[in-house]
């Protein structure tokens, strides 16, 4: 079974109002449903997406997640201690910054081995390398 991670930007593209990449990600999610992909995200990505999507679309996003459309992986607060060094490694002020949502997906990819990711954030995810040297496959 195919698997993929979903970044906040992809959720915003699907549920946001007047998003130019909406059709692309709707089609990708339809393909994932048809082929029974295992889709995952993290709570930091959910928080970021729900902040960026305005009501009433925000409620549609949260309903979609609440109905189990994708798995939302939790992180315990102790996981922050593992994530901080990753964020520091990929933050080069003022040009680039790895935010908590990206770092949580990086950690999830490192834990699960899933490197396919739905994201509009190509610049950042193309430069991230997992501990074993693998890169993300951006969808």
**Percent above pLDDT 70 for the chain:** 99
The structural domains of the chain, with segments of one domain joined by +, span 3-138
Q: What is the pLDDT of residues 27-74, one digit of tens each?
A: 999 999 999 999 999 999 999 999 999 999 999 999 999 999 999 998
What separation in angstroms does the CA of 38 have from each of 1, 79, 98, 131?
A: 7, 23, 25, 23
How much is the pTM? 0.93
Helix, coil or strand: residue 5: strand
Q: What is the pLDDT of residues 79-96, one digit of tens each?
A: 999 999 999 999 987 678
Q: What is the pLDDT of residues 112-135, one digit of tens each?
A: 999 999 999 999 999 999 999 999
Which CATH homologous superfamily contains domain 3-138? 5'-nuclease (3.40.50.1010)
């Amino acid at each position: 079974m195919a698997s993929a991670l979903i970044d906040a930007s992809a959720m915003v593209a699907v549920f946001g109002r007047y998003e130019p990449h909406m059709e692309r990600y709707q089609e990708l999610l339809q393909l994932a449903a048809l082929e029974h992909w295992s889709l995952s995200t993290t709570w930091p990505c959910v928080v970021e997406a729900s902040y960026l999507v305005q009501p009433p679309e925000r409620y549609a996003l949260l309903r979609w997640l609440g109905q189990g459309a994708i798995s939302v992986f939790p992180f315990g607060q102790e996981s922050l201690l593992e994530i901080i060094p990753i964020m520091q490694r990929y933050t080069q002020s003022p040009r680039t910054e790895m935010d908590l949502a990206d770092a949580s997906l990086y950690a999830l990819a490192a834990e699960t081995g899933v490197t396919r990711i739905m994201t509009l954030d190509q610049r950042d995810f193309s430069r991230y390398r997992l501990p074993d040297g693998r890169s993300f496959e951006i969808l």
